[in-house]
Amino acid sequence: MAKTTQPAKPEELSKIDYTPPATDWLETPVEFKPGTYCHGSRIKYLEEVGFPNPREWAPSDEDWKLPANWKDIILEGMKERLGKYRSFQLFMDICVRCGACADKCHFYIGSGDPKNMPVLRAELMRSVYRKYFTTGGKLFGKQAGARELTEAVLKEWWYYFYQCTECRRCSVFCPYGIDQAEITMMGRELLNLVGGQTDWIGGPVANCYKKGNHLGLEPHAITSNIDYLLDDIEEISGIRPEPSFNRKGAEILFVAPSGDLFGDPGTYTAMGYLMLFHEIGLDYTWSTYASEGGNFGFFTSMEMAKRLNYKIYAEAKRLGVKWIIGGECGHMWRVLNQYMDTWNGPADFMVEPVSPITGTKFENAKGTKMVHITEFTADLIKNGKLKLDPSRNDHLNVTFHDSCNTARGMGIFEEPRYIIKNVCNNFHEMPEDTIREKTFCCGSGSGLNAGENMELRMRGGFPKASAVKSVQKKYGVNMLANICAIDRAVLPPLMQYWVPGVSVCGTHELLANALVMTGEKKRTQDLRLEDLPGIEEEGEGEEEENV
């Protein structure tokens, strides 16, 4: 068990030194305080997918039971990756340490820990790179900013590479576009070579490999969960959609993050998908095999990410669908937009996506053949294919959180906003430099949404929370909309701590609230089975009459 810190002894309390130790960053070793790091991955999860060095360990232990030759493994791995990734080689060489990125990282702003400055998180790796891969580093050592790779350094890597959510805000502000997420990915790949993985990432990777989704929902569990969602849809609208699963010959395959099939408020967004697709009579199918859009493998190594992502194209080919729609998820769309086709493409067994309802050609997806659901829905609304009654969302005062990956790895800004503005009458933007490409992260991305590192998550999410607080104060905002499953999972606790009174929802929950479905009964409840605004005054005894 992680050692609990004893209460401070009297003499410790008396000398409250207000200024922390000012040692040079090369020397200050890392202290694993509970609440600021995740548990180490357990044996079962590593064995299931063949990751090296599965063993019993905790990051706070002194001995991490690393393989004897761990140092050679790491350096050999670094050499191989320098040869395989121009980004890694370049970002190790061209940083001029100008400090433009230093105060842009939400973990630095929230924690004040200098090693959370993106430039320093990179220097943790660069200092080792210089020592073993540059003549200057070898000759001048510390003078040239180089240092030995020791176990303490490896622990420091682990502590800080699992304290970066790979949100890439630093690469927006770097004059050369140095992307700390790339360096963190390389760091995590190297750590994985010696078994340095967190439990919260290992679990979903093993589940996704074996059962098709991060949660480990087996086929009948997926259909059973969706049945319960259909019950609720029937209760509020009198209509029971009939989604199909693993159906061959369907026109479209729909892949959503599995978080939407399990946790609140994700399930409300899933209800939104079901209601929308039923209303427009879409010929689509879910898949229990490719039942995960997200990709926690992306937080371990490129190879693992490719092994998990394989299922989507394989299933699309097996079912013979024309193209794919992807649900609301952040990391999923970074992987789909920038990696999927390169890994598992070409997707030539599918055709260029064309909306069967509006005839619009999605040119920006003609290679990967996969369309974002907000692109699809925005097109429906623009062509007047949906009957909407925004007044049903009048009790909500909505603002929108741009997820990091859809913002900086793709550039989806207007589509979700267009939908929200058409389904909600009260919508306010957060301050300009906390949204769009400068959005602040939810603080728990890239697999950091575990429970044990709650303090770390609160620090990381504080800049975004302070932006939400400002619009809560100014406009009375009470609903934070987003298009990411991890956001829907982690923003509620973030709001409970920093901005009580603001709840969280997915964009398609708002859409389904306002959607007037053909043949639906008079709606008295929203997707959360809570009374809609303006229903109480009309009294309970209202008998249902068809709208």
In the complex with another protein, the residue whose CB is nearer, 89 or 426, is 89
With CB under 8 A as the contact rule, the residue among 32, 85, 132, 475 that binds another protein is 85
Sites for another protein among residues 515-544 (CB under 8 A)? 528-530
Binding segment for another protein (CB under 8 A), chosen from 169-177, 273-281, 390-398, 504-512, is 169-177
Sites for another protein among residues 107-146 (CB under 8 A)? 108-114, 117, 119-120, 123, 135-136, 143-145
Determine, following the binding rule CB under 8 A, whether residue 239 of this chain makes contact with another protein. no
Determine, following the binding rule CB under 8 A, whether residue 504 of this chain makes contact with another protein. no
Tokens at residue 66, please?
């690393």
With CB under 8 A as the contact rule, the residue among 213, 237, 300, 393 that binds another protein is 213
With CB under 8 A as the contact rule, the residue among 399, 446, 449, 482 that binds another protein is 449
**Rounded alpha-carbon distances, angstroms, from residue 229 to 66, 212, 263, 514:** 46, 20, 12, 18
In the complex with another protein, the residue whose CB is nearer, 478 or 516, is 478
With CB under 8 A as the contact rule, the residue among 99, 281, 476, 501 that binds another protein is 99
CB of 321 to another protein, least distance (A): 14
Tokens at residue 130, please?
């210089």
Dihedrals phi, psi of 477, to nearest 5 degrees:
-65, 135
C-alpha span between 479 and 121 (Å, rounded):
34
Bridge partners for 325 per DSSP: 254, 371
With CB under 8 A as the contact rule, the residue among 47, 65, 79, 96 that binds another protein is 96
Tokens 């996969």 map to which residue? 370
CB of 498 to another protein, least distance (A): 7
Asked if 465 and 494 touch (Cβ cutoff 8 Å), the reply is: yes
Question: Whose CA is closest to 444, among 13, 38, 32, 170?
Answer: 38
Alpha helices in 67-218 (DSSP H): 70-84, 86-93, 106-111, 118-133, 135-140, 151-161, 169-173, 180-193, 199-211
In the complex with another protein, the residue whose CB is nearer, 71 or 430, is 430
Binding segment for another protein (CB under 8 A), chosen from 155-163, 388-396, 450-458, 502-510, is 450-458
Angle at 287 between CA 285 and CA 265, to 5 degrees: 90
In the complex with another protein, the residue whose CB is nearer, 111 or 184, is 111
Sites for another protein among residues 347-366 (CB under 8 A)? 360, 363-366
Binding segment for another protein (CB under 8 A), chosen from 66-74, 186-194, 246-254, 273-281, is 246-254
C-alpha span between 450 and 454 (Å, rounded):
8
With CB under 8 A as the contact rule, the residue among 66, 312, 396, 467 that binds another protein is 467
With CB under 8 A as the contact rule, the residue among 131, 155, 278, 408 that binds another protein is 408
Determine, following the binding rule CB under 8 A, whether residue 83 of this chain makes contact with another protein. yes
Tokens at residue 379, please?
């097109």
The upper half-sphere exposure of residue 37, i.e. CA atoms within 13 Å in the direction of its Cβ, equals: 24
In the complex with another protein, the residue whose CB is nearer, 41 or 393, is 41
> Binding string, 6-45, against another protein, x = CB under 8 A?
--x----x--x-xxx-x--x-------x-x---x--x---
Determine, following the binding rule CB under 8 A, whether residue 203 of this chain makes contact with another protein. yes
With CB under 8 A as the contact rule, the residue among 129, 262, 284, 323 that binds another protein is 262
Which residues in 213-368 belong to E strands, given as ranges? Answer: 252-255, 284-285, 323-326
Binding segment for another protein (CB under 8 A), chosen from 186-194, 275-283, 296-304, 512-520, is 296-304
**Rounded alpha-carbon distances, angstroms, from residue 506 to 68, 420, 466:** 48, 10, 20
DSSP assignment string, 418-475:
HHHHHH-S-B-PPPGGGSGGGPPP-S--TT---STTHHHHHHHHHHHHHHHHHHHHHH
The torsion angle over the Cα atoms of residues 458, 461, 466 and 468, rounded to 10 degrees, is: -120
Determine, following the binding rule CB under 8 A, whether residue 279 of this chain makes contact with another protein. no
CB of 518 to another protein, least distance (A): 25
Determine, following the binding rule CB under 8 A, whether residue 379 of this chain makes contact with another protein. yes
With CB under 8 A as the contact rule, the residue among 29, 320, 411, 534 that binds another protein is 411
> Binding string, 483-502, against another protein, x = CB under 8 A?
--xx-xx---x--xxx----
CB of 463 to another protein, least distance (A): 6
Binding segment for another protein (CB under 8 A), chosen from 255-263, 395-403, 474-482, 506-514, is 255-263
DSSP assignment string, 363-424:
GGGTTT-EEEHHHHHHHHHHTT-S-B-GGGGTT--EEE---HHHHHTT---HHHHHHHHHH-
**Rounded alpha-carbon distances, angstroms, from residue 99 to 78, 143, 167, 353, 435:** 25, 20, 18, 44, 22
